[in-house]
Every structure is written in C-alpha cells, then in structure tokens.
Structure 1
Amino acid sequence: MSTVIYKICPRTLWREAEARGVFEGAAIDPADGYIHFSTAEQARETAAKHFSGMDDLLLIAVDAAGLGEALKYEVSRGGALFPHLYAPLDPAGVLWVKPLPLGPDGWHAFPDLDR
C-alpha cells in the first residue's frame, strides 16, 4: 500500500478545519462514519466521479503511516481497497495542501502524486 493518501476537499471547508484545528470530513464523511481518502492510483477517478466540474478544490496529502489503527483499507468502488479514516484529522499533520484546479479540458489538473 502507498504510504501517502489523498483527500479532495473544497477550499472553504479545509480552511475552516485549519482554523478549528480539526478536520472531520466533508458532508458525506460523517454520514458514512469515516473520512474518505484515495490512493494516488484512485485520486483521479475519485475526482471525476465525485467532483466533476467543481472548481476551488484542494488536494490534501497525508502520511498514512502516521494515522495508526484509525486508518483502515476497505473494499469500495469496483472492489478496490480504499483508505478510510475512523477519526478526525489534524490539519497540522498533513504533508501538503495544493490547489486542484480544473484544466482547459474540464478535468482536474493533478500535481505529481507519490505512488
């Protein structure tokens, strides 16, 4: 498994979490009982499926090893194992946060991801 996982998040929601010192996820996350993440191999498909056409997003990189036993890899879309965090995330502990803009082709323009 990759040691870096990714969260796609609206900029406003992430900035609020930074100010509060805790990220409890986007609207879908508490409803499902965990914070949804993607691996580098899954992030583009996640963006296309759940964030199509959305602008003003951020891509948040997190060291999976630092999340301990609260992080579980569980079967999800297409039978793939997706990282799910069963705890709040401390924004101070992320590796980096980068803009995830829409490119001229309408797809999100990803930075290089650690695989």
Structure 2
Amino acid sequence: MAMIYHLASGPEWEAATAARAYRMSTRGKSLDDGATFIHAARPEQVGLVANFVYADVTEPLCLLTIDTERLVSAVCDEDLDGSGMAFPHIYGPLNPDAVVAVTPYERGADGRWPDVVPQAVS
C-alpha cells in the first residue's frame, strides 16, 4: 500500500463523505472551480505544505491518509514549479473509500504545523 496525505477542513470532508466524492484541490480551490487536480503530499512534505498554505488557519485540520491503490482517479508525482521536489497529484475526484484514516491535524507547541510520521494502517 502506498500512502499519500491531503489536508482538509472538517466541514469539507464531511460534505465529501455525504456526496461520495471529495473535490477540493487545495485551500479555497476545487475541481469545480477549474482546478485540474487535488494536491497531496508524502509524509515528509505535509508540514511544509501546511506551513505554506495554511499558515494563517487557526482551527484544526483533518489529515486524510489515502491508499493510492484504492483511488479511482489517476495519481501522478510531479514537480510543476521546478523546485526539485515532486508532489503527488490526484487527477479527478477523491473517492472517500480510498481514505483509510482521518485524523485531527493540529499545530505543535511551537505554533507550526508538524511533520507527519507515517503510521501503519491495517
């Protein structure tokens, strides 16, 4: 099983499970608004993304753990900004049954969003 991660707000994730499809690309952007993919990250990239994209967010987020083998949409690793770091991108809606864990994601004592340590998912 290959695991990737996506940060979501609680209400957006709840709406997605009811609709049976998650369509948010990243904060404030969705596939319905013209985004072409859903941003995801590897464990070592989650803190980097969170501290860049969600720096001013005060409420906890949901960390979605996604099993890439369960995805119905294609996933590709891409370095679109030329930074030398490839990120996983999901090209199409995220089917909720590909999400094997949803955990609260909160700031650390230092005020920064933490790195993620991969957990075994059964």
* TM-score (norm. length: structure 1): 0.84
The reply to whether residue 28 of structure 1 matches residue 29 of structure 2 is yes
- Residue 11 of structure 1 corresponds to 10
Q: How does 1:53-64 map to 2 (within 5 A)?
A: 53-54=56-57, 55-64=59-68
Q: 1:97 to 1:6 in 2, by over 3 A?
A: same
- Residue 51 of structure 1 corresponds to 54
Unmatched tracts of structure 2, length 5 or more: none
CA distance in 2, matches of 1:19, 1:94: 14
CA contact (8 A) 2:6 2:63 kept: yes
- Residue 42 of structure 2 corresponds to 39
- Count how many residue pairs are aligned between Structure 1 and Structure 2: 114
- Residue 84 of structure 2 corresponds to 79
Q: 1:63 to 1:84 in 2, by over 3 A?
A: same
Percent identity, please. Answer: 27
> What is the DSSP-based 3-state SS (H/G/I as helix, E as strand, rest coil) of the residue aligned with 2:118?
coil
In the TM superposition, residue 61 of structure 1 has moved relative to its aligned partner by: 0.4
User: Which structure has more strand as a fraction of its residues?
Assistant: 2
Q: Which amino acid in the other structure matches residue 12 of structure 1?
A: P
User: Which structure has more helix as a fraction of its residues?
Assistant: 1
In the TM superposition, residue 29 of structure 1 has moved relative to its aligned partner by: 4.1
Instruction: Name the Cα RMSD after superposition.
Output: 2.3
**Which range moved further: 76-85 or 8-17?**
76-85
Q: Which amino acid in the other structure matches residue 37 of structure 2?
A: Y
Q: 1:68 to 1:15 in 2, by over 3 A?
A: closer
* TM-score (norm. length: structure 2): 0.80
